[in-house]
Structure 1
């Protein structure tokens, strides 16, 4: 029967032997801190086996076992420990190498295929930590592929927009060149009319450049709004005045409903510009002698919707979501109309409207309705 002192001696011996062995293991891990996972694991396995063997032999020596028994036990511990370490290293090393190789291959494929838009898939069963990392690589691959596709779509839109805008800039420039050459050669029948035409085309180009600058400020986030409390009727009146000359030439009436008494916090200059662009779009696509209705209504959550309804055919349902994109036109062959001024058909007006709406914390939408096509500008009322 062991006494309390014997138990204390066993515990103390175990603590000392284990502490010495684990201290050596810590030092070995420090020296091998840049080594492989397998080598780090082997050091821990060896330390564990040595700790158990050293503690067992030390306790048996204290219990006065015979030399023969100690020798037998030492051999048993040594052989068993070596075999266990070798087997663990073989099994563990193989699994670790397999998992790490699979992860390395996934990372390599991710780098190779990201440019082509392809992804990687999570590898089969393995260690839970490695499975988690492999799943993260798969998710990263999916996100990269999605981002790549989005960038390619944006780049395609950018190239198309540049091509359209270049074409629309070239049209008035060609006219300017022809009229200037006619004036220079003295072949112009009415020099005053030619000069008037040159001025009109210069105004068109200036408006397009101004629209491009405005759009760049909206897209870059450098536009600074100067909000103030404004009467919606005043804004609508100013916007109507901008397009009224062209509307009268085509016999188009512009009326408003539900505008009186509406107020909101907005930048009057920018919002007037957005309304004028909406009205210009309506005038451009309305039939001669038609009518454009400007109306306002209050939506839930303290929001105001300003609608411009024209009697034109609008765009096809599948294209409605694209009319606010830069440079988009349902008919790619269509060029700007000098009579309307501004960016005309360059596909900038509605893109600017969307940018101004979003800068105010609002949104824009379009829909085909009975008897026409409606554009809605939604803004915070407060």
Structure 2
């Protein structure tokens, strides 16, 4: 019994020394990944066993041969333990990274939702207040002049159109975020879609003395859902026209690179501040300074978020950069087989 207690004491002392060193190492490496911590714990365990075996072997005066056999056995077990622990630690680390990314994404989505609610509440409250005031004025007979009454009716219609557009944007964005968007890809000639979009935005551009420019030829064919792609082009054009100062220019062009079709909308808005470039496609982002739109045309800040959602639903990508005294929005989508 005395010998067993003595052997246990030696083993405990040796293991304690190794364990203290392991605890210090863990403290120094506390900022490292889970995989590093697991491997370190396994290594400390193996070293504690080896230290205890060696200490007890010397205390019991074991032969070098017997000590070598024991150490080889412990070493083989250590290799297996480290391999299994490394595999488990790698999976655990990957799961931790995924969970952290999921939490970050959830926080960003929640922050975006709060920001969206704030923006939409503001954008609905303002026109509603104006509509109520004008309706009460007409109802109470405060406005008797026919010209003024006609102007009130026109402004009521304009505000109603703005609210309808905002609701439509919210519905489209909810379809995208909920995964309820159903695309019907076909071979779509970009020339036709761009021509229709330019015709739709021409009155707004004319009222702001903005020149719309597009080449006559060289338009490729893209594989996309026609309705959704038309909305992408229209939103990009409207965005550029709204943010471009009077007497500016908005240009649309397209081409094909390998298996991709690209479409670019360039303007002379003065550029986007570098810190804001990464946020341009975020929900409810409107920008500041040179990117502040005309208050008469302020929307819900959803147009570019819808663009990104629709483009990504097609398996494409969209980006923006400052170029030539303005901004260049570029969309890339899979090309169709034929061209026109």
Query: Is this a same-fold pair by TM over 0.5?
Result: yes
Q: 1:316-327 to 2 correspondence within 5 Å?
A: 316-327=273-284
CA distance in structure 1 between the aligned counterparts of 2:306 and 2:240, rounded to whole angstroms: 15
CA distance in structure 2 between the aligned counterparts of 1:345 and 1:324, rounded to whole angstroms: 14
2:164 corresponds to? 206
The DSSP-based 3-state class of the residue aligned with 1:155 is: helix
- 1:314: Cα distance to partner? 2.6
CA distance in structure 1 between the aligned counterparts of 2:177 and 2:159, rounded to whole angstroms: 27
Aligned residues: 281
1:197 corresponds to? 155
CA distance in structure 1 between the aligned counterparts of 2:188 and 2:96, rounded to whole angstroms: 49
CA distance in structure 2 between the aligned counterparts of 1:354 and 1:362, rounded to whole angstroms: 9
The DSSP-based 3-state class of the residue aligned with 1:225 is: coil
Q: Are the equivalent residues in 2 in contact too, given 1:293–1:309 (CA < 8 A)?
A: yes
- 1:126: Cα distance to partner? 3.7
- 1:136: Cα distance to partner? 5.8
Tell me how large the CA RMSD over aligned residues is: 3.7
Q: 1:284-363 to 2 correspondence within 5 Å?
A: 284-300=242-258, 302-331=259-288, 339-340=296-297, 344-363=298-317
CA distance in structure 1 between the aligned counterparts of 2:93 and 2:257, rounded to whole angstroms: 43
Task: Say yes or no: does 1:220 pair with 2:220.
Answer: no
User: Which structure 1 residue ranges, 5 or more long, are not aligned?
Assistant: 1-78, 103-118
Q: Are the equivalent residues in 2 in contact too, given 1:252–1:288 (CA < 8 A)?
A: yes
The change in CA–CA distance for 1:234 and 1:338 in structure 2 (over 3 A counts) is farther
CA distance in structure 2 between the aligned counterparts of 1:227 and 1:135, rounded to whole angstroms: 41
- 1:296: Cα distance to partner? 0.6
2:193 corresponds to? 235
The DSSP-based 3-state class of the residue aligned with 1:254 is: strand
- 1:219: Cα distance to partner? 1.6
Q: Are the equivalent residues in 2 in contact too, given 1:277–1:350 (CA < 8 A)?
A: yes
CA distance in structure 1 between the aligned counterparts of 2:232 and 2:220, rounded to whole angstroms: 17
CA distance in structure 2 between the aligned counterparts of 1:266 and 1:313, rounded to whole angstroms: 32
- 1:135: Cα distance to partner? 7.0
The change in CA–CA distance for 1:239 and 1:181 in structure 2 (over 3 A counts) is same
TM-score (norm. length: structure 2): 0.71
Q: Deviations over 1:238-274 (max 9, x none)?
A: 1112211111111111111265442122211111111
TM-score (norm. length: structure 1): 0.64
The change in CA–CA distance for 1:142 and 1:309 in structure 2 (over 3 A counts) is closer
Q: 1:1-382 to 2 correspondence within 5 Å?
A: 122=37, 124=41, 125-127=43-45, 129=81, 132=86, 140-141=95-96, 143-188=98-143, 189=145, 190-257=148-215, 259-300=217-258, 302-331=259-288, 339-340=296-297, 344-382=298-336
2:52 corresponds to? none
Q: Are the equivalent residues in 2 in contact too, given 1:246–1:339 (CA < 8 A)?
A: no
Q: Deviations over 1:260-296 (max 9, x none)?
A: 4421222111111111100001111112122111001
CA distance in structure 1 between the aligned counterparts of 2:311 and 2:122, rounded to whole angstroms: 28
CA distance in structure 2 between the aligned counterparts of 1:345 and 1:335, rounded to whole angstroms: 11
The change in CA–CA distance for 1:269 and 1:135 in structure 2 (over 3 A counts) is closer
The change in CA–CA distance for 1:83 and 1:154 in structure 2 (over 3 A counts) is same
The DSSP-based 3-state class of the residue aligned with 1:322 is: coil
CA distance in structure 1 between the aligned counterparts of 2:331 and 2:135, rounded to whole angstroms: 42
